[in-house]
Amino acid sequence: MTSEPVILVEHRAGVRTLILNRPDRLNAANDALLLTLTAELEAADADPSVRVVVLTGAGRGFCAGQDLGDVSGRDMTFTEHLHRTYNPLIRTIRGLGKPVITAVNGVAAGAGASLALSGDLRLWAESALLIEVFSNIALVPDSGSTWFLPRLVGYHRAFELMALAERVNAEEGLRLGLCEHVYPDATFREEVQAYAERLAARPAHALKLTKQALNAALTSTLDEALDREAELQQLAGDHWEHEEGVTAFRQKRPPQFVRGE
Ligand code: LHQ
C-alpha cells in the first residue's frame, strides 16, 4: 500500500504550487512534511522553469502547526527540533531567489501562522483564520512569528494576539496588513493562480535582487541600504531584463521578460 505524499506538487505557467497534504489533521506538520517541503522549495529554487512558488493547504485548513499527536516520546529537545525542521524551512522561504506566495486557504495556527506570515506575498481566502495559538499550550511563538508579527502590527498588538491566542479572520487580517488580498473561497485557487502568473511575467532577476535588498534592509541602517542598492542596481542594470525593459518602453510595447526557460 502506498501512502499519500505529504506535499503535492503542481506546476503550471511558471508557477510551482506546493500543497501541504494532511487534510484530516488540517495539515498539521510532522517531520516528514517539514523536511519534504524544504526539499521541494530548494528544488523549485534550482529549477529555471519555476518563476514563482505558491504554498497552500489541501482541504479546509492551511496548516494547524506542529502535529500534537507526533510530539510525545520524541528523542529530540524542542530546541533541536526547531533547528532541524522549522528553522531551515523558514530560512529557505526567506532566502529563496524567487517570490513565495503563501495562499492561506483556511486556518493557520501556531507554526502554521508563522508559515502563513513568511511569504513575500500573502493571499487569503475568505475563510482563512490566523491564530498565534502557542500560548494555548503554554509555548512561545516560534518559526519566525516573534519576528514577523511585531513588524506588521507593532509590539503591543502582536503581544495581545500571542497572549490571548485571538483568532484573526480575513477581514481583520487585511486591515492589520497580515495579507495583501482576500478572495472568495469558491474561486480562491483560480485567483491565486492568476495572481501568481501575473507575478511570473515580471522580471525574475530584478525581483530576486529586490527580495534580497528588502530582506537585508529590514535589519540595516539607511547608509547600509543605500550602499547595497547601488551594488544591486549594477547587477540589475547589467542584465538583459533591463535592456528589454528599456527597449520595450522606447518601442511602446509591453516588455517580454520570459525567455524560453
Ligand atoms: C490536529 C491539530 C494539530 C494534530 C487540528 N495536531 N491534530 C514547534 C515545535 C515543537 C513542538 C511544539 O510546537 C511547535 C510549534 C507549534 O506549532 S505549537 C502549536 C500547535 N498547534 C496547535 O496547538 C493547534 C491545535 N489545533 C487547534 O487549536 C484547532 O484544531 C484549530 C483552531 C487549528 C482548528 O479548529 P477546528 O476548525 O475546530 O478543527 P478541529 O479542532 O476539529 O480539528 C480537525 C481535526 O484536525 C481534528 O481531528 P479529529 O480526528 O478530531 O477530526 C484535530 O484533532 C486535528 N488537528 N490541529 N496541531
Question: What's the domain range around 230?
Answer: 204-251
Q: What is the DSSP letter of 143?
A: T
Q: What are the grid coordinates assigned to 227, written together?
A: 550602499
pLDDT tens for residues 67-112? Answer: 999 876 678 999 999 999 999 999 999 999 999 999 999 999 999 9
Give the residue with greater pLDDT, 72 vs 62.
62
Residue 261 has pLDDT above 60, yes or no: no
Entry pTM: 0.97
Q: Which of 6, 21, 26, 134 to mutate to test the pocket of ligand 1 (most atoms within 8 A of CB)?
A: 26
The reply to whether 109 and 170 lie within a common domain is: yes
How many domains does the chain divide into? 2
**Residue with grid cell 509555548, as numbered in its chain:** 139
Calculate helix-pair angle for 155-164, 145-153, nearest 10 degrees.
130
In the reported structure, the alpha carbon of residue 174 is separated from the centroid of ligand 1 by a whole-number distance in angstroms of: 24
- How far is 142 from 112, CA to CA, in rounded Å? 10
pLDDT at residue 74, rounded to an integer: 74
Residue-wise over 65-98: b if at least 16 C-beta within 10 A, else e?
bbbeeeeeeeeeeeeebbeebbbbbbebbbebeb
Residues 244 and 195 in one domain: no
The percent of residues above 70 in pLDDT, for the chain, comes to 98
Distance CA 172, CA 191 (A): 20
Q: Are residues 35 and 147 in the same domain?
A: yes
Indicate if 239 and 117 belong to the same structural domain: no
Q: Which atom of ligand 1 is nearest to the CA of 142?
A: 15
CATH number at residue 129: 3.90.226.10
Atom of ligand 1 nearest to the CA of 66: 17
Q: pLDDT over 90 for what percent of the chain?
A: 95
Which triple of cell numbers denotes residue 104?
492561506
